[in-house]
Amino acid sequence: MPNLRSLSPEELTQLVASIGEKPFRAKQLYEWLWKNGASEFDDMSNLPAGFREKLSQEYTIDKVKIDHSQTSRDRTIKTAFRLHDDHLIEGVLIPTDTRMTACISSQVGCSLACKFCATGKMDRLRNLDHWEIYDQVALIKKQAEDNYGIPLSNIVYMGMGEPLLNYTNMLKSTQMISSPDGLGMSPQRITVSTAGIAKMIKKLGDDEVKFNLALSLHAASDAKRNEIMGINETNNLTVLAEALRYFHEKTGTRITFEYIVFDGFNDSLDDAADLARFARNVPVKINLIEYNPIGDGLFQNAKADRIEDFRDFLESRNLIVNIRRSRGKDIDAACGQLANKG
């Protein structure tokens, strides 16, 4: 049977009318599915019993479920989510002193095969539906409240998969997460990260999205980026720079560069100079990220003094720079590790 949660508000209105119910029932039904998170038709107490019975005969309510979780000493919670077709994806709750961040997935696996990423060792099996992306946020939001008594403050699409290769579902999920009839979170609290799909970055600009954009850069020369991220061969830095400028002109949003600092690969001051030059293309802030090794020995985290020297060089060029410390080092925190074990 089809999943009722795959229907749009307009389709729910049509469904309600076809059953012969009054139009306001569509809004009640929508709120049960999204705002109240109902998993059974019997939970929908203000809907007539006959209406609920008809729905149950023709539709299911598929939801993402928690399969298992790991909690780190630093309070990071990594969760493997089980989907209705038995696939596993993962999400992370990252608590800090100033925010509670949900890191969520957009695909089962990934097709980009970045060499430093555990998810890159998996095949892309399918895109997530918008409701599967939404459910991850709702479940991680509950984890934040139940475990730490603090509401979720930020959402990053930085888990498994490339969000811009699942564009329609990604966009629909951000709209529902920020809707007053959904989770009611500000789009300014949402960041969508891409490995660099230039034409889809331009589409984000055309759609005048309100959320933030992050580019997983990790090297600011084509030679080095080609070595670790195959997507750069068809979306090189020149092409990306033009797309980023277009996005900024359309939205006015400052872009974030994500830059994992690998020991002996992209951690020199020459690499920092390359990054500073590339950052001239568009207003940016730069996150230097400690690496969580994935166990294959290809890459290691750069030494602390190298990362600090790297940051100091960028700051001397008047760039906004933050160092993002590795979280969950004592659990399977690197993207893709937990789902790979499932």
- When pLDDT is averaged across residues 260-269 and rounded to a whole number, the result is 97
pTM given for the model: 0.92
SS3 label, residue 39: coil
CA pair distance 262, 242, nearest whole angstrom = 27
**Structure token pair of residue 78:** 């990594």
pLDDT at 341: 46
Domain 65-341 sits in which CATH superfamily?
Answer: Aldolase class I (3.20.20.70)
The yes-or-no answer to whether 4-58 and 65-341 have a common fold is: no
Q: How confident is the model at residue 27 (pLDDT cuts 50, 70, 90)?
A: very high
Q: How confident is the model at residue 332 (pLDDT cuts 50, 70, 90)?
A: low
* 140-184: pLDDT as tens digits: 999 999 999 999 999 999 999 999 999 999 999 999 999 988 899
DSSP letters of 267-284? -SHHHHHHHHHHGGGS-E
Are 319 and 288 contacting, i.e. CB atoms less than 8 angstroms apart? no
pLDDT at 325: 82
* Catalytic residue ranges: 90, 335
**Hey, which CATH number is domain 4-58, 3.20.20.70, 3.65.10.10, 1.10.390.10, 1.10.150.530?**
1.10.150.530
CA pair distance 27, 24, nearest whole angstrom = 6
Q: Mean pLDDT, the chain, as a whole number? A: 93
- When pLDDT is averaged across residues 90-105 and rounded to a whole number, the result is 95
- Residue 290 buriedness (CB in 10 A; 0-12 / 13-18 / 19+): middle
Please give the share of the chain, as a percent, with pLDDT higher than 90: 86
- Residue 73 buriedness (CB in 10 A; 0-12 / 13-18 / 19+): exposed
Written in H, E and C, the secondary structure of 65-118 is EEEEEEECCCCCEEEEEECCCCCEEEEEEEECCCCEEEECCCEECCCCCCCCCC
Sequence spans of domains, the chain: 4-58, 65-341
